[in-house]
């Protein structure tokens, strides 16, 4: 096929991650050529069956190294940045990855004239005293100054088969006698389905979403932390008691857990601080037409999806309650 007749190329940073893999799937269905930019291309081969032969390729890239970012976007018409971290690990600090790295992606996209879609998070605030939220907020400001036509998406907590929220507490329910209600479980979330985010990204790549705006992506229901854990227990057919833990104690536990090397902490003190603020779509975003519905995506209910992937945490898996042996 002559080069001029090839479908447009989309570079997806973090394409092998939780959100990124679903973005790759949505773009592949629409026929785009996709270049997945990841630190370990050798571990991203599972993405190839999502597209046709030769449709999905891989390139090594690390947001801390600008040269690798520029190589990854060479020849791309669109760039999607799905990279983010939940806690600091080694040289992957919040500043290096979520702020400086995001700026590097925006500058590289500008350099090749590519349109940019960036995944941020509800709660992003350049003035926050929490590094996660602060770097997300600073990245948004930097991106819009570099690429004024960029599309920025702020999702609430994201759910789906590989999520790190419902899966985490379902696994905890299997191992621990109780589940923790941090701060009494009153924090509000607006869980958004990962495939809905992927569809929103695909629409932005197709040019169906107005650029230069920050969109807030939430699902159709607002749930408290307690209600989220109750949904986990219902989906896993378990009856673990819910025990309230004050923010101070939870923060101390998070600080200690973060000191243990070579393990992924169940929660960090920064995450506890973020739980002090509701994680829902703002009234301003709703009034100004910057939500999933305004993009043209019908948001998915938590209950219609979580049972399908939390079934693995039931006492006898899919046979729980069926009268069959495990």
**At 158, which CATH number?**
3.40.50.720
C-beta neighbour count of 103 within 10 angstroms: 20
> What would the pLDDT profile of 154-173 be if each residue is shown by its tens digit?
999 999 999 999 999 999 99
In a domain, 319, yes or no: no
Residues above pLDDT 70, as percent of the chain: 94
78-81 vs 188-189, strand pairing mode:
unpaired
Please state, in angstroms and rounded to a whole number, the distance separating the CA atoms of residues 73 and 78.
8
- Residue 211 phi/psi, 5° resolution? -80, 175
Mean pLDDT computed over every residue of the chain: 93
pLDDT at position 6:
86
**Residue 185 above 90 pLDDT?**
yes
In a domain, 243, yes or no: no
Expressed as residue numbers, the domain containing 125 is: 3-162+190-220+279-300
In a domain, 315, yes or no: no
In a domain, 143, yes or no: yes
Q: How many domains does the chain have?
A: 1
Per the model's pLDDT, the better-predicted residue between 262 and 52 turns out to be 52
pLDDT at position 231:
97
Q: Calculate mean pLDDT across residues 31-45.
A: 96
Split at pLDDT 50, 70, 90, the class of 197 is very high
Q: Please list, in sequence order, all residues whose beta carbon lies within 8 angstroms of the beta carbon of residue 287, skipping any fewer than 6 positions away.
A: none
Structure tokens at 106: 């925006």
In a domain, 179, yes or no: no
Strands (DSSP E) along the chain, which ranges? Answer: 9-13, 33-38, 56-60, 78-81, 115-119, 151-155, 158-159, 179-182, 188-189, 192-193, 213-217, 223-224, 242-245
pLDDT at position 323:
41
In a domain, 86, yes or no: yes
Q: How far apart are the first and last CA of the chain?
A: 53
> What would the pLDDT profile of 199-212 be if each residue is shown by its tens digit?
999 999 999 999 99
Structure tokens at 38: 């990841």
Structure tokens at 78: 């669109």
Question: For the chain, percent helix, then strand, then coil, each to nearest 5?
Answer: 45, 15, 40
In a domain, 60, yes or no: yes
In a domain, 154, yes or no: yes
């Amino acid at each position: 096929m002559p080069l001029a007749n090839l479908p447009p190329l989309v570079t997806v940073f973090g394409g092998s991650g939780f959100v990124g893999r679903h973005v790759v799937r949505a773009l592949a269905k629409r026929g785009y050529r996709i270049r997945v930019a990841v630190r370990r291309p050798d571990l991203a081969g599972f993405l190839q069956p999502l597209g046709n032969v030769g449709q999905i390729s891989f390139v090594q890239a690390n947001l801390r190294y600008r040269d690798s970012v520029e190589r990854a976007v060479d020849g791309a018409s669109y760039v999607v940045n799905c990279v983010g971290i939940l806690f600091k690990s080694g040289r992957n600090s919040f500043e290096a990855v979520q702020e400086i790295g995001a700026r590097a992606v925006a500058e590289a996209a500008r350099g090749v004239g590519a349109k940019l879609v960036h995944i941020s998070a509800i709660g992003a605030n350049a003035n926050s005293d929490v590094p996660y939220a602060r770097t997300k907020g600073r990245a948004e400001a930097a991106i819009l100054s570099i690429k004024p036509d960029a599309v920025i998406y702020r999702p609430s907590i994201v759910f789906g088969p590989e999520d790190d929220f419902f899966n985490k507490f379902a696994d905890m329910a299997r191992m621990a006698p109780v589940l923790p209600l941090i701060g009494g479980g009153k924090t509000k979330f607006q869980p958004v389905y990962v495939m809905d985010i992927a569809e929103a990204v695909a629409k932005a790549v197709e040019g169906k979403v107005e650029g230069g705006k920050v969109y807030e992506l939430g699902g159709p229901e607002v749930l408290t932390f307690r209600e989220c854990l109750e949904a986990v227990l219902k989906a896993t057919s378990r009856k673990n008691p819910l025990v309230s833990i004050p923010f101070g104690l939870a923060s101390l536990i998070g600080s200690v857990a973060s000191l243990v090397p070579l393990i992924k902490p169940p929660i960090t003190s920064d995450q506890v601080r973020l739980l002090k603020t509701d994680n829902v779509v703002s009234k301003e975003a709703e009034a100004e037409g910057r939500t999933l519905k305004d993009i043209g995506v019908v948001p998915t209910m938590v209950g219609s999806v979580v049972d399908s992937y939390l079934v693995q945490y039931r006492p006898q898996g899919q046979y729980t309650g069926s009268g069959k042996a495990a």
